[in-house]
Structure 1
Amino acid sequence: MQLRFDNVPLDEVEKIPCRVFRHATQASLAVAQQIAALIRTREGEGRPCVLGLATGSTPVGVYNALVRMHQEEGLSFRNVITFNLDEYYPMQPHELQSYVRFMHEHLFDHVDIDPANIHIPDGTLVDTDVDDYCRRYEQAIQQCGGIDLQLLGIGRTGHIGFNEPGSGRNSRTRLITLDRITRRDAASDFFGDDNVPRRAITMGVGTILDAHQVVIMAFGEGKARITAEAIEGEITSSVAASFLQKHPNSQFFIDEAAAEHLTRRRCPWTLGKVKWDETLIRKAVIWLAQQVDKPVLKLTEEDYNEEGLQDLVATRGSAYEINLQVFRSLQSTITGWPGGKPDHEKKPGDRSQAHEHIYPKRVLIFSPHPDDDVISMGGTLIRLVDQGHEVHVAYQTSGNIAVFDDDAIRFAEFAAEFNRHFGIDPQRTGELEAHIEEFVKNKQPGQVDSPEVQFIKGIIRRAEARAATRFCGVPAEQLHFQDLPFYETGRVRKKPLGDEDIQMTMDLLNKVQPHQIYCAGDLSDPHGTHRTCLAAVLNACLRLKEESWYQDSAVWLYRGAWQEWGPHQLEMSVPISPQELMRKRAAIFKHESQKDKALFPGSDPREFWQRAEDRNRSTAQLFDALGLAEYEAIEGFVRWKGDLDTVL
């Protein structure tokens, strides 16, 4: 049945059918079930099932689910033939970034597929053989009867496979040059931009569109804009995924974060009647104020009517009453006392915060990497310390893969000189210095660091974290370096969250018994470390929820390193003065190994301190535009509601 908003069929707006799931895991399971059903149907018909497969972080959940179905439900891959979308060129199959290696690690090595049925573009060819190879790849697909189901992700430029902007509707498997943005997005996997291959072999847009069925997946806020362009925008070669609008059997599977720019999520009231709750009212009024460029309290009945919000006024009363409700709701989030006020500062009518009666509080800030605390909530951290709270910071991972090799050599040289000067085991020191220099000199792009190199890089990150929090006024004995085991692979790809990670987090919580817990909620971190770290904390909290000390605890989620909360989501807004913002910047600068150019910057070319300041200032400017008090910057927080849906 076609989904409708009131009397508006959604396919008038969304030109590619789209299924929105609350979380990526749910979407991945649905895709895996669809693939499994197709495999079983083809097996029942005595026919092979031909799958087009993708790589990257997006389809990993699908492959995990398929492996589980094979192991627990008897799903067989004996009749499956696969063709992968693409491969970097040149690329040896054993290298860490090889899609051959990726597919075997995530799927092929765990199921009963015939190796002869696996087809992945060959990155080892000499240039003169590539064109002929690509023709044969196309022929092999045709000889199998075409691809039954093609699985896709979508790149930030809208590319599918490696079909960069400008790829034609009828393009076929070929060697292409990678777009600058695509190479930047891949830089983390290759430990730096300079190591990313400049070319790749990819199926063409025409090859993909020939598939009988196409499933395209997108997860996270970072894919929201381009997903909306592909689904609701015009068909154009600058967004290759938009060609799927003309495919007779294509479908998007996305999570709520990736759906945020779709009309049904961004402004669903423009499509027809909606069920108005407090969150949607707040979102609609903020949207309206931005549309007409007015403060909330100046919005009129005419503004509501002309921008398609007649139903809100008709349902919830006058424009003035709605304006006042939203204004007060936003105003109530603003507090200069994130840990609560001491009695002598309280005034009649002060907004009561959770556990306001406890002052000072023990505060535990969980930082996924050794700099997320000051990047994302440095102003609030400083405010909590200045206001007399006992602030602890837990660094959940070592962050050792995000240190340049040159820094490791420099610090090894420093240690060697220091030890030689004071006569401290000069032989062992010299051996360490020689090992690090020799290892780095012969290191291949993406090669896992030796334990010695990992150790010294970890020390660098620890020293920087100590310097930053010392500047903020946090005593050294209130820093906790967890080094959670899931992270310590030496590679960008990490292990799944394990019981040991959760137990270590529970032990720390029981030790500190905090009244406030802060953890990173910006789940768009491209490598998933933030998501895994958040899952460790929330799982630990759920297991400890019956403890007496936990009854006086509140869990707050911060953002800032990779994204920011929307204004309609905020539940605590902490104003940051110009002086505090400069102190926050200075604390971030203590992380010297991440300054000027980070090893894993993501897709945003700005430094992390610039991103954080811009986001904090933008939030403050928005509050000002909405008619609230004018501040230099604002750090925003959302309170955890007590379930794992946040990170599932």
Structure 2
Amino acid sequence: MTINHQEIELIDSFEQISVDIHPTAKDGSKAVAQEIATLIREKQAAKEPAVLGLATGSTPKYLYAELVRLHKEEGLSFKNVVTFNLDEYYPIEPDALQSYNRFMKEHLFNHIDIPESNYHVPDGTIPKEQIKAYAAAYERKIEEAGGIDIQILGIGNNGHIGFNEPGANVNSHTRLVTLDNSTRLANAYEFSNMSQVPRLAVTMGIGTIMKAKKVILLAWGSHKAKIVCRSVEGHSTDQVPASLLQQHPNCKFVIDEQAAAELTRNKEPWLTGDCEWTPKLTRKAVTHLALKLGKPILMLTDKDYNNNGLNDLIVQYGSAYELNIKEFNAIRDTITGWPGGKPGTQLPNHPERSQPEQKRALIFSPHPDDDIISMGGTFIRLHEQGHDVHVAYQTSGNIAVTDEFLLRFIDFAVGFEGMFDIDRSKSSQILEDAKAFIQIKKPSQKDTPEIRAIKGLIRRCEAKATCRYVGIGDENAHFQNLPFYETGLVEKKPMGPEDVQLTVDLLRQLKPQQIYCAGDLADPHGTHKVCLDVIFAALDIVKDEEWAKDCWVWLYKGAWQEWDIHEIEMAVPMSPDQVMQKRLGIFIHQSQKDVVPFQGTDAREFWQRAEERNANTAELFDRLGLQKYAAMEAFVRYHFR
């Protein structure tokens, strides 16, 4: 086989740091784990220590899980390994739920044979006046160990590495730092509310990181795509600390396909070499060009295409006119007010089939409000158009109910029994015990099972009220309470067989012709991702059953992000009145109103996010020259067979 070296070089010609792209975070983590295992074994053979710099947070979890597996199943020993962690909150006790010391023990150290004296995590309890001396001693320990062989990093949405925020000096060393507000917002999912997120941290400096013999930065998910691109393709600047790694002689980014979405090789691949012009890539090129130039699709010219690296498309289609007409019509055909199919008509280019006219539609909602937040307009329209609509609430959502909101309901329930002299001593005692616990609860303390059950009941009642608001009965609301979620903590268990079986049972019970599920994977604590994996695993089991052969699956987004315009395969428009109707439906979830627990970096309430994203989608269609609507909900079809 002949390799075209020029083409290979062009693919990453915009990138200033080596980038390895893997299909998923698990694939990338396994590759890095093998690299670490090779280093450890080489050092063992040479009777030398392997010195690792380690990171925390959600990013390296798969990496640590794979290292644990290599130890338990393939005999990888860590007896010659010395580790130094990047950072720790300050002040924080080492056994606090959010402590990175505890994180490392739970995810790695407690499961391998590393000597306790060989791992080092910055101490979040050192008196402030002793921090400088402690930090200097931490640096000396790294030097005495021989320096870091491989440094593992994550990346923050503002480009921070460790807790080195924008503006950090390239020569900085271990020190106490103030956390940027955007970093605190991003990490708020680990805490009950924003006020509990520490404002300070102890972190290795960028200078310390740059001394490592090799640096591997991990990044997973679409929410990291923009900052990965700025770090890899932008200028090296302290305003994006990760971009300073361009100056490191042996650094690479290991990312998944979602985190690679903004790289030029993916966003505008026609600028990096020859392309295979698939229908999907063609639509991406046309819509990207139209939005970039601020022109409707039908106004694009041959010159526009030629001046923007798209002359190959013009050669293929003969003229801009022919290409524009084709793509305009295809995008126009994705717009429909009939998400369940339009009865009595045969529209070959309609997103949904018209038969059967009345479908059984099953909406999977990861939390008890994702249905109304992400596809409320479509939910309402499906019911109004005569379809048999069911909702499966996959998790209880109990951790997203604040203690203050819980106390309101406890006071109401106890007061109600007292007002009407109802003898329910057992339930009253449960409520009083819950109230007493909340009043002495520590910030990092897990709720009791009773309190979690009450919080789950609050969200269940809100979900049922939403269904009644839409018009469907209580019997069409299915509360799965998937076990993976029920830890009482932000940290969830992996998907298990019971989660999948509960979903298989529901699918077989309902035999839907339409399924809607959340493809919004930017959820900061990962519940959407696990819920989607559960559905996919269940569909794989039932895919050959007769009813499944006539079942279509649509993926929605909305709570955290929206589909890119070129990806959308069904767009359901909403009028201003329908936008207001959806807003009122979201307001039913009062426990999520005003203060949104675990909201990630977006400080807006969910109804605000949904309305702005829906309005933005409609605006993009308008800018492309399509019909003008107040808002649109967007869907992509998933083919599970």
CA distance in 1, matches of 2:298, 2:104: 56
Percent identity, please. Answer: 53
Residue identity in the other structure for 1:220: G
Q: Are 2:55 and 1:69 aligned? A: no
Question: 1:283-322 maps to which residues of 2 (within 5 A)?
Answer: 283-322=284-323
CA distance in 2, matches of 1:3, 1:563: 38
CA distance in 1, matches of 2:343, 2:235: 57
2:14 corresponds to: 13
Question: In the TM superposition, what whole-angstrom CA distance separates every residue of 1:106-126 from its partner, at most 9, and x where no partner exists?
Answer: 111111111110100011111
2:150 corresponds to: 149
2:31 corresponds to: 30
Question: In the TM superposition, what whole-angstrom CA distance separates every residue of 1:594-633 from its partner, at most 9, and x where no partner exists?
Answer: 1111112111111111111111111111111111111111
SS, match of residue 391 in structure 2: strand
- Whether the aligned pair in 1 keeps the contact of 2:333 and 2:350 (CA below 8 Å) is no
Question: In the TM superposition, what whole-angstrom CA distance separates every residue of 1:171-192 from its partner, at most 9, and x where no partner exists?
Answer: 0000111111111111110111
* Aligned-pair CA distance for 1:4: 6.5
1:194 corresponds to: 195
SS, match of residue 419 in structure 2: helix
2:172 corresponds to: 171
- Whether the aligned pair in 1 keeps the contact of 2:70 and 2:76 (CA below 8 Å) is yes
Question: In the TM superposition, what whole-angstrom CA distance separates every residue of 1:133-185 from its partner, at most 9, and x where no partner exists?
Answer: 10010000000110000000000110000001111000000011111111111
* Aligned-pair CA distance for 1:518: 0.5
* Aligned-pair CA distance for 1:12: 4.1
Question: In the TM superposition, what whole-angstrom CA distance separates every residue of 1:467-514 from its partner, at most 9, and x where no partner exists?
Answer: 112111121110001100000001000001000000000111111111
Residue identity in the other structure for 1:107: L
CA distance in 2, matches of 1:576, 1:366: 21
- Whether the aligned pair in 2 keeps the contact of 1:8 and 1:272 (CA below 8 Å) is no
Q: Which stretch shifts more, 350-359 or 519-528?
A: 350-359
* Aligned-pair CA distance for 1:352: 4.8
Q: Which stretch shifts more, 276-285 or 427-436?
A: 427-436
Q: Which stretch shifts more, 141-150 or 595-604?
A: 595-604
CA RMSD of aligned residues (A): 1.6
CA distance in 2, matches of 1:243, 1:562: 29
Question: 1:266-345 maps to which residues of 2 (within 5 A)?
Answer: 266-343=267-344
1:108 corresponds to: 109
CA distance in 2, matches of 1:403, 1:7: 51
- Whether the aligned pair in 1 keeps the contact of 2:383 and 2:472 (CA below 8 Å) is yes
CA distance in 2, matches of 1:114, 1:270: 51
Question: In the TM superposition, what whole-angstrom CA distance separates every residue of 1:179-218 from its partner, at most 9, and x where no partner exists?
Answer: 1111111111011110011111000000000000000011
* Aligned-pair CA distance for 1:428: 2.5
SS, match of residue 358 in structure 2: coil
Residue identity in the other structure for 1:120: V
1:249 corresponds to: 250
CA distance in 2, matches of 1:480, 1:353: 27
1:387 corresponds to: 385
* Aligned-pair CA distance for 1:317: 2.6
CA distance in 2, matches of 1:93, 1:5: 52
**Unmatched 5+ stretches in structure 1:** 644-648
CA distance in 2, matches of 1:65, 1:349: 50
Q: Are 2:473 and 1:472 aligned? A: no
* Aligned-pair CA distance for 1:31: 1.1
Residue identity in the other structure for 1:504: L
- Whether the aligned pair in 1 keeps the contact of 2:223 and 2:259 (CA below 8 Å) is yes
Q: Residue 586 of structure 1: which of 573, 584, 587 is its match? A: 584
Q: Residue 396 of structure 1: which of 394, 397, 421 is its match? A: 394
CA distance in 2, matches of 1:282, 1:5: 27
- Whether the aligned pair in 2 keeps the contact of 1:415 and 1:429 (CA below 8 Å) is no
Q: Residue 425 of structure 2: which of 424, 427, 448 is its match? A: 427
CA distance in 1, matches of 2:74, 2:152: 22
* Aligned-pair CA distance for 1:219: 1.1
Residue identity in the other structure for 1:612: A
1:617 corresponds to: 615
CA distance in 2, matches of 1:448, 1:160: 30
Question: In the TM superposition, what whole-angstrom CA distance separates every residue of 1:14-44 from its partner, at most 9, and x where no partner exists?
Answer: 1111111121111111111111111111112
89 and 253 in structure 1: CA distance in 2 versus 1, 3 angstrom threshold: same
1:560 corresponds to: 558
Residue identity in the other structure for 1:223: K
CA distance in 1, matches of 2:114, 2:283: 52
CA distance in 2, matches of 1:43, 1:442: 50
312 and 5 in structure 1: CA distance in 2 versus 1, 3 angstrom threshold: farther
2:127 corresponds to: 126
1:646 corresponds to: none
Instruction: Find runs of 4+ consecutive structure 1 residues off by over 6 angstroms.
Output: 1-5
CA distance in 1, matches of 2:6, 2:536: 36
Question: In the TM superposition, what whole-angstrom CA distance separates every residue of 1:54-77 from its partner, at most 9, and x where no partner exists?
Answer: 000000010111111111111111
CA distance in 2, matches of 1:32, 1:3: 31
1:363 corresponds to: 361
Q: Which stretch shifts more, 575-584 or 316-325?
A: 316-325
Question: In the TM superposition, what whole-angstrom CA distance separates every residue of 1:75-113 from its partner, at most 9, and x where no partner exists?
Answer: 111111000000001111111001111001111111111
SS, match of residue 187 in structure 2: helix
Question: In the TM superposition, what whole-angstrom CA distance separates every residue of 1:238-293 from its partner, at most 9, and x where no partner exists?
Answer: 11111100100000011111111111111111222211111111000011101211
Residue identity in the other structure for 2:444: G
* Aligned-pair CA distance for 1:416: 0.8
* Aligned-pair CA distance for 1:637: 0.6
* Aligned-pair CA distance for 1:315: 3.0
385 and 326 in structure 1: CA distance in 2 versus 1, 3 angstrom threshold: same
Q: Residue 637 of structure 1: which of 626, 635, 638 is its match? A: 635
CA distance in 2, matches of 1:424, 1:628: 61
- Whether the aligned pair in 1 keeps the contact of 2:270 and 2:310 (CA below 8 Å) is yes
Question: In the TM superposition, what whole-angstrom CA distance separates every residue of 1:383-411 from its partner, at most 9, and x where no partner exists?
Answer: 00000000000100000000110111110
* Aligned-pair CA distance for 1:3: 9.8
314 and 218 in structure 1: CA distance in 2 versus 1, 3 angstrom threshold: same
1:507 corresponds to: 505
CA distance in 2, matches of 1:213, 1:119: 19
Residue identity in the other structure for 2:540: L
Residue identity in the other structure for 2:384: D
Q: Residue 606 of structure 1: which of 604, 618, 625 is its match? A: 604
* Aligned-pair CA distance for 1:434: 2.4
SS, match of residue 238 in structure 1: coil
1:136 corresponds to: 137
SS, match of residue 272 in structure 1: coil
SS, match of residue 43 in structure 2: helix
SS, match of residue 297 in structure 1: helix
1:526 corresponds to: 524
CA distance in 2, matches of 1:103, 1:149: 17
Q: Are 2:188 and 1:183 aligned? A: no
Question: What's the TM-score, normalizing by structure 1?
Answer: 0.97
CA distance in 1, matches of 2:368, 2:544: 30
- Whether the aligned pair in 2 keeps the contact of 1:338 and 1:574 (CA below 8 Å) is yes
CA distance in 2, matches of 1:8, 1:28: 25
CA distance in 2, matches of 1:10, 1:208: 28
Question: In the TM superposition, what whole-angstrom CA distance separates every residue of 1:277-323 from its partner, at most 9, and x where no partner exists?
Answer: 11111000011101211111111100001112112212343211211
Q: Which stretch shifts more, 370-379 or 627-636?
A: 627-636
CA distance in 2, matches of 1:597, 1:179: 20
SS, match of residue 141 in structure 1: helix
Residue identity in the other structure for 1:67: V
1:42 corresponds to: 43
- Whether the aligned pair in 1 keeps the contact of 2:342 and 2:357 (CA below 8 Å) is yes
Question: In the TM superposition, what whole-angstrom CA distance separates every residue of 1:579-605 from its partner, at most 9, and x where no partner exists?
Answer: 111111110000001111111211111
* Aligned-pair CA distance for 1:422: 3.3
SS, match of residue 6 in structure 1: helix
Question: What's the TM-score, normalizing by structure 2?
Answer: 0.98
- Whether the aligned pair in 1 keeps the contact of 2:71 and 2:112 (CA below 8 Å) is yes
Q: Which stretch shifts more, 102-111 or 1-10?
A: 1-10
Q: Residue 461 of structure 2: which of 429, 449, 463 is its match? A: 463
- Whether the aligned pair in 1 keeps the contact of 2:333 and 2:351 (CA below 8 Å) is no
